[in-house]
Every structure is written in structure tokens, then in C-alpha cells.
Chains A and B, each alone.
Chain A
Amino acid sequence: MADFGYSLVKSGKTDLDTAGNALARSVSEAEPGFNLCIACGCCVATCSAGRFTNFGFRELIHRIKRGEEKLMIAEAEKCMLCGKCTLVCPRNINTRNIVLLIRKHAIIKGL
């Protein structure tokens, strides 16, 4: 194919018509708290792993809901499972279980 010295730009847009939702479904079925986030950011503010990496639980679950499954499975590996986010969550979401369920899904699906 021709090379004119520029290339097509891949859209950075989230397209919910084509986004995958298998991970979000399997996690929310096993842990309904997955749907209860109100995006307050407490989890990120207290996160131990987030002090050293750009890991953040709030973004993790929102991006899973938007279909970024592969990237977020890798991202979930950064969690150290300390549980501080569970302590501060105003919706009392079982955050650790969600991270474990993400890893479980990845193993089962071989991702």
C-alpha cells in the first residue's frame, strides 16, 4: 500500500457499540458492588500501589466498563491487595474481590 508520509490516526474514542463487555459482566455478576461506584476517588487517594505507579481503582473499573479489557487486566496486576480502598469506600464496595475476580477472569479466559 502507498506511503504518502502520513498515516491514518486511530480514533481514541470509546465506541460502546463495539466495546467488549465480557469482563465487566463476569465481574459484576460475581460481585454486584462493581456497579456501585460513585467516582468519588477515595480509593485512588488512599492507594498504596498508586504512590509508586499510576494505578487507580476508580479508573480501572470505569475503563473495564468501557471495554478496555486487555489493558485493564494488565493494570489490575499493579494492585497489592492491601485493602485500604475497601476501608475508605463510601459505597462499601468489596474492591479486593473485584481485583481478584479480574485476575480470575483473565486466567480462565487465558488472557
Chain B
Amino acid sequence: MDKTVAVVGGGVAGLAAAAALNQLGYRVLLYEKEAFTGGNVRNWDRLFPKARNAREVVDELASSLTGLTEIATGTFVNSVKSTDGLFEIESSGRPAYADAVLLTTGFELFDARKKEEYGYGIFENVITSADLEKMFASSGKPLMADGSEPKKVAFIHCVGSRDEKVNKPYCSKVCCVTAVKQAVEVREALPECEVYNFYMDLRMFGTGYEQLYKEAQVKGVNFIRGRLSEANETRTHQVMIKAEDTLVSRPLQITVDLVVLMVGMSPAGSTMTILKSLGLLGNEDGFAGIANAHTGSTLTLKKGVFVAGACSGPANITDSVNEARAAALRIHQYLGGV
């Protein structure tokens, strides 16, 4: 068999799909715009629900690739053209052809500066969940801008999710459990540090997530049901935040040393560009459109074009990897392997 599949995006979905396609005997051209594969997961320290090292997941997936995968890192795919069932990949690298295309373009983190009232990029001690992961990776604990340890930390859920003001009406699914995971990590790293999580709903849908939430409660994390209306910096560079404590129907304010914004998942810019070049549409949230939600989540409306992972909507690693492997089977079917 001498068929080639182009996989666009070298995150966990792309890696898992490429490995599965290799096992089925296909050549894979794996495109990754960054210098390394691993996508967003590469920038994470530990993963929910059991604090597994994120790099370990990426390494495991990457190590199952065979010689049939050619990885083009630092290569940006501009467009894909289809003629008579053959796909021409136009990228910042050399032009190439493939018999099928799998989009695993994933997501970009929501740009927290768009929620101007939270002061990201303006207030010294307002960071994002991704910034906190970097701190965990480098120093094992959260730190304030001046390098000292915080005594009070607030996690703000749903930043760039469930918010029509920034055109993100959907739930990003993983931020709730990430916030709970990070809250537990802060309590473990700095036992004297008070932690407050401001949430609207706690969507603990996955195996082990609810247990993690209870663990956070046991470890003394405070949960306040209310969305932040604004944040302001005090003269000592602390952050005063305001919300409604909806469970007691009253406005509430607290001054904390560090605010962590749980940034949601936004569609990767390249997803729409590539879809458009193929004459395909995105869904109402700007992610890749799929054939149907129940039995066709890896199919698009164009034969030979498949999707997997967070490029079609917020997804955790488990679902992304599963979807990638499911997509590999669908591609196998399409290329006449079954």
C-alpha cells in the first residue's frame, strides 16, 4: 500500500492519529507550525485528574510513530486544494500531495486581554492558567510578580467561555477541572495560602473529576458561585475583585495577591483558513464543522477530509486521542482498506 495521509497539527490528536495510521500501513505527512510537536499539552505541567506529567503523554504518543511518518515542524499549512480525490497541501514548506487529509489543528488559548475588566497584561498579579502551569513547571509553586509567595489566590472560571460579550458562548469543558486541579496544587505547594474559586457551574463530567472537586473541598479550597464583574489593582499591587456570591444573593469583594484567569479554548486561526480553502464551513462557534454530532464527529461534509480533537470544539486529551484513533479507522475505510 502506498497511500499518504496529511495530518495538519502535531498536538496530541495529530500524534495519536499519525501513529494509528502508521499501524494501518499509511504514510503520514504530519504538519506542525511550531518547532516541536505536542501542541498546547506541551506547555502544561501536570494533568487532571491524577497529576500525570504532561510531557510524558506527549512523549508516549510521539514514540509510537513509525518511520512511515514524516514530521514537518515549523511548517504552516496555508491551504488544501482537492482535485479528483487528490489533495494538494500548500504550506510554508515544499508542496505535497495526499490521498486524505485529517485536520488536528486543535485550539488556541483565549486571549485574556479581551476581558479588559480583569486587567490581564495591565495588573501585575493577574495571570492565566497557562502562566500558572509555567510557574509550576519552573518553580513548583505560584509566585507573584515580585517573586514572593502569594497568601491568597483566586481562580476565575469561564474566562473566554460562556460569554457572549467576547463572542465565546460555548463551554470550554476542561477549565473547571483544570481550576480545581490547580487549586489543589496551590494548596499542596503553599499550605498556608487561601484559595478561592469563582465559578458559575462546576462541570465535572469526566472520570475522577468529581472526586478531584471533593479533594479540593477537603483541602480547604473555597468555592464561591459567581462570575467576576471586575478586578482592580490596589496600591500594594494586590488585586481587588468583585462578584456576586449568588448562593447568599449578595455582592462580595475580596483582595487577593494573585488572580488566575481560567482561559478557555478558542478555535485555532488555521482551522478556518484550511476549511475555507476546501470549501468547508466552521460551526457556529468557529470550530471545524462535523458531519453529525453522534455518529460522524470525525467526518466533514467533504469526502476525504476528516477532523479530530479540539479543532472541532473544546475537548480533553482523552477525547482528542480517542477521536484521533477513530478518525484513523474512518480514513482507512475511505481509502478502501476495509
Contacts and interface: CB of A to CB of B under 8 A. Distances in A.
- Are A and B in direct contact (Cβ within 8 Å)? yes
Interface of A: 12-17, 28, 32, 35-36, 38-39, 58-59, 62-63, 65-66, 91
B217 A65 contact: no
A59 B248 contact: yes
Interface of B: 196, 202, 214, 217-218, 220, 222, 225, 245, 247-248, 250-255
A39 to B, nearest CB: 5
Given A35-B218, A39-B225, A65-B222, A13 B248 contact: no
B253 A36 contact: no
22 contacts: A12-B250, A13-B252, A14-B252, A15-B252, A16-B196, A16-B254, A17-B254, A17-B255, A32-B218, A36-B214, A36-B217, A36-B218, A39-B225, A39-B247, A59-B247, A62-B245, A62-B247, A63-B248, A65-B222, A66-B248, A66-B250, A91-B214
B312 to A, nearest CB: 31
Contacts of A91: 214
A15 B253 CA distance: 5
Contacts of B252: 13-16, 66
Contacts of A17: 253-255
Contacts of B253: 13-17
A14 B245 contact: yes
Contacts of A63: 248
Given A13-B252, A17-B253, A36-B214, 10 more contacts: A13-B250, A14-B248, A14-B251, A14-B252, A14-B253, A15-B252, A35-B220, A38-B202, A39-B247, A59-B247
A58 B245 CA distance: 13
A62 B223 CA distance: 10
Contacts of B220: 28, 35
A13 B214 contact: no
B151 to A, nearest CB: 12
Contacts of A39: 225, 247
Contacts of B248: 14, 59, 62-63, 66
A92 to B, nearest CB: 11
Contacts of B225: 39
A39 B218 CA distance: 15
A109 to B, nearest CB: 22
Closest 7 CB pairs of A and B: A16-B254, A14-B252, A13-B251, A35-B217, A62-B247, A36-B217, A17-B255
A67 to B, nearest CB: 10
B241 to A, nearest CB: 10
B226 to A, nearest CB: 10
A27 to B, nearest CB: 13
A47 to B, nearest CB: 16
A10 B196 CA distance: 25
A33 to B, nearest CB: 9
A66 B218 contact: no
A58 B217 contact: no
A39 B220 CA distance: 16
A55 to B, nearest CB: 14
A66 B250 CA distance: 10
B188 to A, nearest CB: 16
Contacts of B255: 17
Contacts of B250: 12-14, 66
A1 B245 CA distance: 35
B177 to A, nearest CB: 15
B221 to A, nearest CB: 8
